[in-house]
Amino acid sequence: MTTISQAREAINQRWIAGWGNRTPYTFSNESYKPDTRAWARVTARHEFGRQDTLGGEGNRKFLYGGRLFLQLFTLRDRGTKEIDDHAQFAKDIFEGRKFDGVWVTRAVPRELGEDGPWHMLTVECEFTYEQVK
C-alpha cells in the first residue's frame, strides 16, 4: 500500500539517487536561495483519485496520481544546451520507470523562458500509485 507521503518520499529519493550532485536542488515547500549558475526544484502535485476495482472492504484498489514538476534553472543569456542536457537527464530518471509503488508514465519538457536572472525549463511527468482499502 502506498500513501501520499510514501509516494512523495519515493519520488524525492529517486530524484536524489538519480540527480546526484549534478546541480543543487530543492523540494516543494522548502526555503532555497540559489547561489549557483544552475539549480532544480522538484514538486509532486496530486490531481486525481478513483476506485479502480470492486470488492469487499480491504480488497478494493484505488488509483491516485498527479504531475511531477522538475523545474530546471540556468543563468539567462547562455544558450539552451546546458538546460536541454539537464532536461534530458531529468527525464531519464523518471520516464517509464516503476519504483517503490510509484509509476511514472511520461515526461514532457516545457520551455518557459526567462524568470528574473534565470532561464527555466520544466519537465512535467505523470505519476500514479495504488492503495488497497
- The fraction of the chain above a pLDDT of 70, given in percent, is 99
Instruction: Cell numbers for 8, please give them.
Output: 512523495
Does the pTM of the predicted model rise above 0.85? yes
Mean pLDDT confidence for 28-32 = 90
pLDDT tens digit string along 62-117?
999 999 999 999 999 888 999 999 999 999 999 999 999 999 999 999 999 888 89
Distances (CA, A) of 133 to 68, 125, 129: 25, 26, 13
Cβ(108)–Cβ(58) below 8 Å: no
Instruction: Cell numbers for 99, please give them.
Output: 519504483
Instruction: Cell numbers for 104, please give them.
Output: 511514472
Cβ(98)–Cβ(121) below 8 Å: no
Residue 42 forms beta bridges with which residues?
27, 70
Q: Where are the domains of the chain?
A: 1-28+38-53+60-106
Quickly count: other Cβ atoms within 10 Å of residue 22's Cβ: 14
Give residue 1's pLDDT band: very low, low, confident or very high (50, 70, 90): low
pLDDT on residue 115? 82
Instruction: Cell numbers for 50, please give them.
Output: 478513483
